[in-house]
Chain A
């Protein structure tokens, strides 16, 4: 079964960065992927926190992100 392409909660189509973020934050066994807003809510952090993490992952050379 492929990885979800829509948010588990709001069904928004997920961007590459959002899919990458779900993989980094929830691991390969995750089957519920969230858009950045719902993920921030689920993880009890801010959307800005997650944007910062995306930039950090990119700086580390992670190719999961645009």
Chain B
């Protein structure tokens, strides 16, 4: 509680002639006292620095912005800063809850994370999509084929990168809800990620990187505001078309947080000023971010609907998994899947047709959203091993284009069935292949998919396989997991046992008939379900 006593006569005289603002000052406000506040800022906020002189002149509060690249991902140091002004505080709310819980928080402007596409790519993608309405799945699909090569900020360091990652992962999970740990147990973004050619630690740095390397990327995933501002800057050879993916977006609201409660009076002045229509107008003019005020007339470019906001996950474990799987955008490691496919006589006919269809689906024929995320992608290394009573054929490709996928399809299409089923010999063979590949490239992520429709009746016994598996070098034994696909008359208990032993998981495709005239078969669904599991 503070009291300000005011001499009656001078005040009356003043009040009669001056406006309400003066009345406020005259009746005891201590607003004339200049206050200097230290502000931890996202680099995204530096663009507003020129406005702060006006803020100081009108409110007496002097904000000293300290833009730091790690502002959005490191708990703020309350001894050094009075306020924090971030593009988003979601990362901190998840990873440093106690540091930001209960702080006064004011949203100052908004911008969704969207995709900017060069015009020719946009045209090509739209032509393939009914109604021309693009989704994150379409972007992932085009990234997997190499059509889209994009830049995106590092999600481990920047809120825009994290928002993009969460957006695309939520779309990939396709549940319509916030991501749960079960939704991210397998990495569905490998295809999407294979299209990333540029990165940076912050959103502003990403823009500069893109400007300098326009020949290396044809798409940019970042804030709508940054894309619009970049288009207006004249720094581009080709303006980027702003695409707001149909399956949703993540919105940044640029919150101003009060770190030092003792500065609440100054904080109130700053937030009141920032929310004034004239200031919101000016922020919009400078940044092309959307005003939080409903009464500001929007720039025509900002009248487009913002797109449905996706529910943002609230479990730190989900974010941890997403970030770990996404890894270092600057240093991509290849992954490899070894498919061990049962070509015993019982696979003839409908079952073989289903297997070929499953491979076609993974090669790009599956037009569903999940299919677009799960498809084989450029740079992925794929090995197909056909086996009966023994290994019949092994073929490895590194996907560079359609011809590699055709080569793979040819291998699967070939007949040449065996009379018996040597499940454990085949798996043992798979592990030897994996060991060889890992010896060549220890960073590679290798997993095995074992598809069989019968019980083991040839080759080594399960016990012998286990003995050999135990003798494998540690990185192969613990790092290469087996994902059995149970089909036809295979022994589910045994397959489950080997999955548990190797750290994988069994999926069931027991029904061999296609699920409908146009729907993918159960085998195709099973393959899709374990894509990206590692």
Does A pair with B?
no
